Amino acid sequence: MAANEKILEVLDLHVQYFTPRGAVKAANAVNLYVKAGEIVGLVGESGCGKTTVAMAILQMVQPPGRIVKGEIRINGHNIVNLSEAELRKVRWRELALIPQGAMNSLNPVLRIREQMGDAIQAHEAISARDLKARVLSLLNDVGLPERVYNMYPHELSGGMKQRVCIAMAVALNPAIIIADEPTSALDVVVQRVVAQTLLDVKKRLGVSMIMIGHDMGLQAQMVDRVAVMYAGNMVEVGPVESIFAQPLHPYTQLLIESIPSIRERKPLKVTEGLTHDLRNPPTGCCFQFRCPRVEPRCLQAQPAMIEAGPEHLVSCIHYQAR
Amino acid sequence: MTVEETVDPKESPATRRVNVWDSPWLNTKFLVGGSIIVVVILFGLLGPFFWNTELAYTASSPTNLPPMWMAKGSPEHPLGTESNGRDMLASLIVGIPASLRVGVLAATLGMGIGVLLGSLAGYLGGWWDHVIRTISDSVLIIPSLAVLIAIASYVQFPDTTMLALVLAMFAWPGPTRLVRSQVLTLRERGYIRMALLSNVPPLEIMFVEMVPNMLPWLAASFTGNISGAILGATGLEALGLGPTRVPSLGMIINYAMTSSALVRGMVWWWLPPILALIIIFTGFFLMTVGLDEIANPRLRGYGNGGK
Amino acid sequence: MGGLTKEYVLQRVLMWFLTIWIGVTLTFAIPRMGKGDPVSVIVSRMMQRQGYVENANEIIESYKRRFGLNDPIMVQYIRYLGNVVRFDYGYSLTRFPTPAGEIVRPALPWTLGLLIVASTLSFGVGVTVGALMGWRKTPAWLQNILPASLTFTSIPYFMFGILLIFVFAFWLKILPATGGYSRDVDPAFNWTFISDVLQHAILPLFSIVVTSMGGWALGMRGLMIGVNNEDYFLLAQAKGLSPTRVFFRYGIRNAILPALTAFALGLGGLISGSTLVEWIFAYPGTGYVLYRSITALDYSVMQNICNLMIIITATGVLALDLLNPLIDPRITFKKSAAS
């Protein structure tokens, strides 16, 4: 596998939710790729469409939502128009999920062994004894004791449950794992442990990952590249160093400035505000209502993605002008 | 902090909700069920102005007349008469409101007791909660018909009010459970906590802040209880244990069954009270299901059980 | 953890006692709330029938002794509770001196048989229909026809029974209208008798199942829609499990738990309803015996059957309660964590 090979490609993805009062445009012309062994962070405030993109990649957009246009390629194969049966083969084999809110991600009435076993058995013919050995070694890999094997979810702490989810995600050694805010519901110490577990597993298996989150600080420590979304649009993508060193989009700048620091006390730049109604986006830049640098020409069209550096793309008219 | 209000006011969700036709209460099932019940009530209210209700009593008419559209039927008794000389149309006009009255009375009493006990349990918690919950769970299990029959075996229910009082004893546990769980959920909400902290009297919190939130649930429980009470009363009457002074739908069924109306082919005797009750139950059932959907929006517009 | 704990079983059994106690106490207390003594009312009513009730004087005497009309009300109450515990309801008034229990007992198997089959069918079919209605992957044609099965949901069982008798027994003449078995068939363990019993059971069963399943279906539909949105349900789909496995192991398996609780709470209504169905079909169960005792003013048999209905319901609920922790590992866990 070549180092630069694109494991996952999202091409011109449009997802809309069809509500009685109009279609909610939750993802608009989103382009993204993940290379082998890479972690790409997908950030933005809640409702910006990052989870929608993740669900679209998994082909699990819930009705009334639908992928209107676009391709999702895994190792070059488009999976958007696969049949249900074909899709089932791709799921978990190629494309695993570490869900948001580990609290409810495990079925409360099934034992851990049954839930992990389900994932493996759905894709491999495996003897009961091998299955047990496999599950136990997976639990061991994420630092969980053997007794977890026979336990129910309610007997585990939040961090343990999330580690079970990680173990489950790597069970079939998938091409790519989508981690949807894997640490958001946990307290700070547990967050670190889980994040460390995730990185360990990732390093050992060399799996590629998309990590969704709104915590820029955590992203900075874990990911290779960052993709920033606002109101269903991708506004900036780039290597983590260059994004943090030189954020180009005004929204990215606001996000980074809002990371608290103990070295300096800076006045909080307000990034709060109302996103426009996604059913009825304004013409022009999606960030126009909250952008500190908005000017009349911003209101004409959504700026195209411009290459600003190696792998660093931004969609802002101010950069274009330079 | 400045929150920029750049959103076009015409498009903001707040103004959209003002649209009257957007109200969740405009649920098809609720409206259809409600219309059915309104029609049934009107039938009972207006009937006496058009028809002599005295004909609902024994020996007021010739016996065993078929409806007017059948051979030997007479326009003087359009729906026919039964073996004791009662006019069927008059019996329906008297019986339908009698059955509705029992149901509404019992359900109203049950609702009152339920709101009281439920909020006590939810507010006071601890020992109160434990006792109220245990007793209401027990009463919820008891088959009401068994107790009703056992009571009726000793004392003849003199009138429908007494019957409604007894039926109310089985109509309170539902609302009690409901109100209790709602109070427990709602009191964790921010605005209720604010009200609690600022020493707003509990009754005011209950009726100003909480009850409006529970309204669809309470209404669903209320219509459900009306059906339940009518069902209990009808069952008792059909067995011949109801109040005998006032003609009721259940009583007509009882007379029809004991006089072998089925075998004698007197469809006009046994079918009308059953149809009337089916219409009433269907009306309340649709209202209850509709109210459930209003209370729990997730149930709406999903599959074909939706609208 | 999980499974049955001693504490949980104890708590449920206490609940069983409490339910029965409240039930029988209500039947004792309410008639005595009004003016006049209910037992003397009964006695005087029997006096009026003296002409054609055999042994009337003896019966009245035994009644007076039994209820101790002049004793304080608490003494009467305790004596009554004692009789309930011993299943002693005195003698049947119409078939004196046969004890009421002996009249009720032969009817019990018919009632229990009908109840168990009807409630299992009704819950099983209802839950399946509801689960399919609430599942996103259910084929559209099925989604379109399933709601039709709810048509009769709001009709009281016995009224639907009358309609069924009319259509199938009197009009189409393909099924027997009443009774538990034909008069010309001898009760014996052979195919003739069994098929005759089954034929007689079809209409009563139908009138209960068709009208009661809709309630469970609607409840299950709501629960299933809830489960559809749970994270674990989505994750199960993401795991690439087959739709049937997702449906059963991650859908029904979870949604059925609250549905079972609702079923337990609905058992009383089901038993009340099937009592009336037995009456309509002259089915040889306790419901029919109850009806006959009502028309004959046989108070001891009525009392016996009413209390029996309360006990059967409470026992059914207890059975479901004890089943619950076996399929939901959280129940006893929560209880022990809470105390």
Whole-number pLDDT of residue C163: 92
Q: How far is Cα B88 from Cα C239, in angstroms, rounded to an integer?
A: 64
Q: Which residue has the higher pLDDT, A305 or C216?
A: C216
Q: Mean pLDDT over residues A101-108, rounded? A: 80
Whole-number pLDDT of residue B295: 84
Whole-number pLDDT of residue A34: 92
Question: If interface means Cβ-Cβ distance under 8 Å, which residues of chain C face chain A?
Answer: 1-2, 136, 229-232, 234-243, 245, 249-250, 253-254, 257, 327-330, 333
Cβ-contact C314, C320 below 8 angstroms:
no
Q: How far is Cα C103 from Cα C190, in angstroms, rounded to an integer?
A: 26
Search chain C and give the residue with CA nearest A123. Answer: C240
Q: Is residue B135 part of a domain?
A: yes
Facing B6 at nearest CB: one of A21, A270, A289: A289
Q: Mean pLDDT over residues C220-235, rounded? A: 90
Q: Do C146 and B304 touch (CB under 8 A)?
A: yes
Cβ-contact A7, A74 below 8 angstroms:
yes
On the question of pLDDT at B196 being above 90, the answer is no
Q: Do B1 and A270 touch (CB under 8 A)?
A: yes
Q: Which residue has the higher pLDDT, B187 or C204?
A: C204
Q: Which band of pLDDT confidence, cut at 50, 70 and 90, is reported for residue A273?
A: low
Domain that holds residue B273: 27-61+71-298
| CATH of the structural domain A6-319, one choice from 3.30.1130.10, 3.40.47.10, 3.30.450.40, 3.40.50.300 | 3.40.50.300
How many other CB atoms are found less than 10 A from the CB of residue B276?
A: 20
Q: Which band of pLDDT confidence, cut at 50, 70 and 90, is reported for residue C55?
A: low
Whole-number pLDDT of residue C298: 79
Q: Is residue B1 part of a domain?
A: no
Neighbours of chain B (3+ CB pairs under 8 A): A, C
Whole-number pLDDT of residue A239: 92
From residue B133, alpha-carbon distances to A99, B195, C15 in Å are 37, 26, 11
Look up residue A213 and give its two tokens. 């989150």
Q: Which residue has the higher pLDDT, A107 or B207?
A: A107
Cβ-contact C224, C130 below 8 angstroms:
yes
- Residues of chain B found within 8 Å of residue A21, distances taken between Cβ atoms: 16
From residue B166, alpha-carbon distances to B44, B105, B131 in Å are 24, 11, 22
- The predicted-structure confidence for B91-100, as pLDDT tens digits, reads as follows 888 889 988 9
Q: Provide the sign of the torsion angle of the four alpha carbons C272, C276, C279, C283, taken in this order.
A: negative
On the question of pLDDT at A49 being above 60, the answer is yes
How many other CB atoms are found less than 10 A from the CB of residue A113?
A: 17
Q: Is residue B245 part of a domain?
A: yes
Of the listed ranges A94-108, B164-178, C86-100, the least confidently predicted one is C86-100
Q: How far is Cα B178 from Cα B288, in angstroms, rounded to an integer?
A: 14
Whole-number pLDDT of residue A264: 66
How many other CB atoms are found less than 10 A from the CB of residue A265?
A: 7
Whole-number pLDDT of residue B3: 36
Whole-number pLDDT of residue C48: 66
Q: Mean pLDDT over residues C59-67, rounded? A: 67
Q: Which band of pLDDT confidence, cut at 50, 70 and 90, is reported for residue C190?
A: confident
- Residues of chain C found within 8 Å of residue B232, distances taken between Cβ atoms: 272
* Residue C36 per-residue DSSP state: S
Whole-number pLDDT of residue A295: 83
Q: Provide the sign of the torsion angle of the four alpha carbons B60, B65, B70, B71, taken in this order.
A: negative
Nearest to A301 by CA among A46, A9, A29: A29
- The predicted-structure confidence for A152-169, as pLDDT tens digits, reads as follows 998 998 889 988 999 999
- Residues of chain A found within 8 Å of residue B6, distances taken between Cβ atoms: 273-274, 289-290
Q: Characterize the bridge pairing of strands A306-309 and A65-74.
A: unpaired
Percent pLDDT > 90 in chain C is 41
**DSSP 3-state of C103:** helix
On the question of pLDDT at C335 being above 60, the answer is no
Q: Mean pLDDT over residues B252-258, rounded? A: 89
Q: Provide the sign of the torsion angle of the four alpha carbons B88, B89, B90, B93, taken in this order.
A: positive
Q: Which band of pLDDT confidence, cut at 50, 70 and 90, is reported for residue B8?
A: very low
On the question of pLDDT at B206 being above 80, the answer is no
Please report, to the nearest 10 degrees, the dihedral formed by the alpha carbons of residues A257, A260, A266, A270 taken in order. Answer: 50
Q: Do B149 and C302 touch (CB under 8 A)?
A: yes
Question: Taking the model in full, what pTM does it have?
Answer: 0.84
Mean pLDDT score of chain A, rounded to an integer?
85
Task: Domain ranges for chain A, please list them.
Answer: 6-319
Q: Residue B275 is part of a domain; what is its CATH number?
A: 1.10.3720.10
Given CB atoms, is A84 within the 8 Å cutoff of chain B?
A: no
**Domain count across chain B:** 1
Q: How far is Cα C37 from Cα C59, in angstroms, rounded to an integer?
A: 18
Q: Mean pLDDT over residues A66-95, rounded? A: 89
Look up residue A206 and give its two tokens. 């060399």
Cβ-contact B227, B174 below 8 angstroms:
no
- The predicted-structure confidence for B22-70, as pLDDT tens digits, reads as follows 577 778 889 999 999 999 999 988 888 888 777 777 777 777 778 777 7
* Residue C177 per-residue DSSP state: -
Q: Which band of pLDDT confidence, cut at 50, 70 and 90, is reported for residue C57?
A: low
Whole-number pLDDT of residue B18: 44
B8 min Cα distance to partner chain A (Å): 8
On the question of pLDDT at B14 being above 50, the answer is no
Whole-number pLDDT of residue C70: 65
Of the listed ranges A189-198, B149-158, B213-222, the least confidently predicted one is B149-158
Task: Give the class (CATH, top level) of C108-284.
Answer: mainly alpha
Q: Which band of pLDDT confidence, cut at 50, 70 and 90, is reported for residue A2?
A: very low
* Residue B22 per-residue DSSP state: G
Nearest to B287 by CA among B71, B45, B41, B64: B41
Best residue in A52, A84, A118 for a mutation probing chain C (most C CBs within 10 Å): A118
Q: Characterize the bridge pairing of strands A65-74 and A39-43.
A: unpaired
- Looking at residue A215, its amino acid is D
Q: Mean pLDDT over residues B248-259, rounded? A: 88
> What does the buried/exposed string (b/e) look like for B94-118 if buried means 16 or more CB atoms within 10 Å of the residue's CB?
bbbbbbbbbbbbbbbbbbebbbbbb
End-to-end C-alpha distance for chain A, whole angstroms:
38
Q: Do B4 and A280 touch (CB under 8 A)?
A: no
On the question of pLDDT at B5 being above 60, the answer is no
Search chain B and give the residue with CA nearest A273. Answer: B3
Q: Which band of pLDDT confidence, cut at 50, 70 and 90, is reported for residue C42?
A: low
Search chain A and give the residue with CA nearest B303. Answer: A63
Residue count of chain A: 322
Facing C265 at nearest CB: one of B140, B144, B241: B140
B127 min Cα distance to partner chain A (Å): 28
Whole-number pLDDT of residue A290: 82
Cβ-contact A246, A88 below 8 angstroms:
no
Q: Which band of pLDDT confidence, cut at 50, 70 and 90, is reported for residue C84?
A: confident
Q: Residue B149: CB partners within 8 Å, gap ≥ 6?
A: B236, B239, B241, C290, C294, C302, C306
Search chain C and give the residue with CA nearest B288. Answer: C154
Q: Do C245 and A119 touch (CB under 8 A)?
A: no
Whole-number pLDDT of residue C124: 95
- Residues of chain A found within 8 Å of residue B13, distances taken between Cβ atoms: 277
On the question of pLDDT at A254 being above 70, the answer is yes
Q: Is residue B17 part of a domain?
A: no
On the question of pLDDT at B197 being above 50, the answer is yes
Q: Is residue B182 part of a domain?
A: yes
Q: Which band of pLDDT confidence, cut at 50, 70 and 90, is reported for residue C46?
A: low
What strands lie across the sheet with A225-230, from one edge to the other? A95-98, A176-180, A208-213, A39-43, A225-230, A233-239, A312-314, A306-309
Q: Do B3 and A273 touch (CB under 8 A)?
A: yes
Task: Domain ranges for chain C, please list them.
Answer: 1-105+299-339, 108-284
Best residue in A105, A107, A156 for a mutation probing chain C (most C CBs within 10 Å): A107
Q: Do A290 and B4 touch (CB under 8 A)?
A: yes
Search chain C and give the residue with CA nearest B270. Answer: C162
**Chain B to chain C, count of Cβ pairs less than 8 Å apart?**
172
Q: Mean pLDDT over residues B102-118, rounded? A: 93
How many other CB atoms are found less than 10 A from the CB of residue B230?
A: 27
Whole-number pLDDT of residue C59: 65
Q: How far is Cα B180 from Cα B120, in angstroms, rounded to an integer?
A: 8
Facing C153 at nearest CB: one of B270, B277, B285: B285
Mean pLDDT score of chain B, rounded to an integer?
81
Whole-number pLDDT of residue B36: 94
Best residue in A24, A251, A271, A276 for a mutation probing chain B (most B CBs within 10 Å): A276
Q: Mean pLDDT over residues C72-76, rounded? A: 81
Facing C268 at nearest CB: one of B142, B238, B265: B142
Crossing angle of the two packed helices B173-186 and B88-124, in degrees rounded to 10: 40
